[in-house]
Structure 1
Amino acid sequence: MQIKNSTALKERVLDLWKTYLLSVSAQDILLGEVSDHLYVGDVDFRSLAARGEKAPVSSYVDIGFSDDIGEMAYELAQGGEDMRPYSELSLFMKEEEIGDALYDYLSSHITMHKASDILDNPYYRQVKVRGKTREGHITLTVNDYLPGELIQTWHEGFQKEDPFAYGKAAFFDSRVVFPVLLENGGVWMSVVLSEIESMKEPLEKAKGKVITYGLGLGYYTFMASEKEDVESVTVVELNPHMIALFKKELLPQFPHKEKVHIVEGNALTYIMAQEDGAFDYGFSDFWGGLSDGLPLYLSFAKGCARFRHTAHDYWIENTFIDYYFRPAVMIFLMEKVLGRKERPLDQGKKASGILRKFISFLEKEPFTLEKEDDIYHLLDTKTLVRVVRKFAASCL
């Protein structure tokens, strides 16, 4: 990579660093409360909505996040070593300004939804889960969200005005019941808002002969089979209990079940033997989320790199880019443009090792960084997806 340093380039990188520190700090609060199942009850969100779209969200942030915002602003403003690098915000902003910025950030990354936003989905209208059914260590049942319970939603990717967002959240104005799969008693997957939103684009791309890796509750399989331009949907699933449960309880409710073909097998083994062009479109979804997904995503991207006639996409690929690789680019820029070695997010030993390799890989990529637009081009999701897939194919 060729970097033509200038005062303007240094100023832009420093400004992005400040934006990055604030964004991560705010999202740490946001996703922390999602993990803690924040519940703001006894509020009539429907009545608040009559006063304008922002009214229920403002009330939600006031009630649910005031203490978090105050505590985070205080800790960042103190500039303590244990809060580095995020406490560097104290070099740019006073405590009150940090608090206001955190409040504004949270307010713009939380939305309120009506129950119909999810219940009007074709899968919900057609596929019903009644009671509790078990096959081996897999259980099919239902769960619910209460009105005012905070949930994570899908972040669609890079925006120049909000470059480092990786988490958004929402709450419903009324109770929502949704299907869920439990593995050994813990939630493996559920058809919730983030699931529906994250599969919108891969479903739009599905056509002809489709193959998907990972069965779960069959949401992707159902929605793809509903498309007129989809001839068949082949599903590769490793877990025989999942397959048995799906065939018994869910598949009979599919209007186009004749299109669905299930193969019991290991996705990584299957992809290495798959003939290029045997399918028109492929979609991988056999990891649970960020914590277990990064190595699987990269391994599968390496396996798919040889395809020229089968387009292939990956569940939550945008999120891997948002959470892991764009911050790695920021660390790279801080060192190469400002001469400062910074540590990335604490993402675990395995992920940190992968990201160190990725940063070294970036140095050899044929990019020229000279002006502001060059930086934003490098940070853009489309660019990073292309670079990360190349990295997976050649370096792992």
Structure 2
Amino acid sequence: MAVKNQKVYEEARRPSPPRWSIWLGMLLLFMLLGLMGGILFVGQAPPVDAGGIWQVALGTPVLVWVMAISTRVIIYASYVRVADGWDEARTKDLEQKYKVGRRSLQVWGTSAYTALRRQGVSAEGQVSKLLAGVRAIKSQPFRIGGNVIRHSCIDGDGNADPEQILLQAFEQVLTDLAQVLEGLADDIPLKVLVEGDSQITEATLHRIWRSVWCKSGVRQSTEIISDAGLVAVNQWLDRGVEDNSLLLIVAFQFAPEQPRDTAEVVVGLLLGGCSPVPSLHPIACLHRPEFLRAPDSDVDLSVQQALEWVPINACSIEHVWRSGVDRYHDSLVTMALTSLSGAGAEKKKFHDLDSLLGSAGKAAPWLAISLASESIKLSAGAQFVITGGSDDSLFCHCAVTPASPNSV
């Protein structure tokens, strides 16, 4: 990440100003000592010049005091100047880091294919069902082996060919995104990230993907990237918008190795910076994710930092999506929800995709972001995502907000 609160230098320690009560007391003490010395010298014989004695006896302490206080003031002013310079440099550095930290990606297209999109249900209908709390997860025969396991699947026909079902789901997702890609120029680069979990062999998955991609009709030049999860978004934002390339993400979980309490999903997202064409308008803005790597991390600070990347107040969040959170991170989610619910809890709606659909594995972050973006298309406001990552040690928060006219 570009900015971490723990790595921001503290403000300079300010020196204590001169305490005039002490210095005035020192002046009186010096003058008292000078007075005592003058009395001793005046009383001596032979007689001495009394006026000169008193000038030396009283003038010397005052001169010493003036020199001491002047030195103290100069040292104090020097330290203040150094501290001002440090704080000014710190402010500029912090502004630059926050400028980088508050970069966001535009969501140009989304598609999420889950068990709720059976029988021709539209993307809007799927989101409406999830917003209403409709559950798709249930005990049913698993497509490989036939054992009855609690999960959700994208096709209820247990006798259907798994490869054909996955191919159709990929085709559905790419067809949805192709509506955006068709309006783009051929010279716009397309970075492609594909990740997922399945019992199907890698060779078979590659064959299915190549077949679907060839039929998609995508004309833009493509480059497969090796990044994974929301770390890819983080790194993309760190690099900044170097060109008008777009990031196409396809994530899936299909017939996983451990199917209990899981969801079969295929998700597609098209992300980028500035608008590749003037007529194209973003659905939403995906802001920088904030990661947690340890159970003892400050969850409240992480939530506030994720909101700060927008920036937005917790009171403005309308929907909170939770996805891909295992038991290890469940207590962290509870703390995060408590932090969010403290502000305007009555206005927020919490959606636990793990209990509605099942855990989506590596596709969990993308599923939550896609559904949050689709929710914004239905005139919803700012969304907050709490999700696990493709790396089991990662746990993150991020915000999805409606795209403003200035974002294009």
TM-score range, shorter chain: under 0.3
Flag the structure with larger Rg.
Answer: 2
- TM-score when scaled to structure 2? 0.23
The TM-score with structure 1 as length reference comes to: 0.23
